[in-house]
Amino acid sequence: MLNVFKMDMRRMLRSKAFFFCIVFMNLITGTMVIFDVVPSFAAVMGSGEGGSMDMMGSMMGIGMAFIIIGILFALHTCGDFSSGFAKNIFTRHANPIRYFGGKLLSLAVTGTIMITVYMLVSALLLAICGSSVALSGGISGLLLFFIEKIFIIFAFAALILLACLTTRKSVVGVIVAAVVAMGVLPMILSIAGDYLGLSLISDIGKYTISGLSGQANLVFSGSVFVTIIIGSLIWTGLCAVLGNRAIKLKDI
């Protein structure tokens, strides 16, 4: 698994798409900061005071970042099959879970790097523009918020991996990434719950990957933290099991 991780990280860090996505995601947010669309660090992170959500938090809590990260994940994963990388890996490693585990780890590390750069650049631009970089939950709140997002990245990457391994089609992976990153399912469940007058339906959306990510806040909440960690682990484990099965059922 570690060999797959090392090889895949080497490929990712040499990929032009990786650096293009980092520049693009920060360019979009940078433009929003300059034009005062997002006036504070909390707004950029999609974390409103006291848990309220704003326009950036209506997706996965960090605006466009997860959409771009998800698209990169999908294209990079499906590229394994068109380039022959996956075939070489499965020739050397018969156990498919090693590929899934190594690939998941490399995607999660890549996503963490991108989120870290995104947070640092956003804070720097806000400071330069004279906007608020105050942390409502302090440094500890930011650190725990970051940890929550890392667990979400694992679940997000695992789901995209599952979609790509099942279909081997990049367009499917991109669609799944966009739908999850934009929080489409929680939004639909919320509308359905309100229409039918059943709060239970709306509550289900909170435990999707999108819903879990949207709960993350710069102001620490123990119950939310535990919910996000456990929920992310469950989603990651479920996708790993199904992904392992998908690898065995389809030809390389």
Instruction: Show me where the domains of the chain are located.
Output: 2-249
Range with the largest mean pLDDT of 86-90, 160-164, 191-195, 244-248: 160-164
The confidence band for 87, taking pLDDT boundaries of 50, 70 and 90, is low
pLDDT band at 59 (very low <50, low <70, confident <90, very high): low
Residue 52 confidence (pLDDT) above 50: no
Do 211 and 205 contact (CB within 8 A), yes or no?
yes
- Of the two residues 53 and 130, the one the predictor is more confident about is 130
The per-residue pLDDT for 94 is 55
- Whether 197 has a pLDDT exceeding 90, the answer reads no
Confidence of residue 32 (pLDDT cuts 50, 70, 90): confident
Question: Which backbone phi and psi does 40 adopt, to 5 degrees?
Answer: -150, 165
Burial string for 178-192 (b: 16+ CB within 10 Å, else e) reads bebbbbebbeebbee
Q: Give one DSSP letter per residue of 120-158, joined into a string.
A: HHHHHHHHHTT-B---TTHHHHHHHHHHHHHHHHHHHHH
How many Cβ atoms sit within 10 Å of the Cβ of residue 77? 25
What does the mean pLDDT of the chain come to?
A: 84
Query: Which residue spans within 24-127 are E strands per DSSP?
Result: none
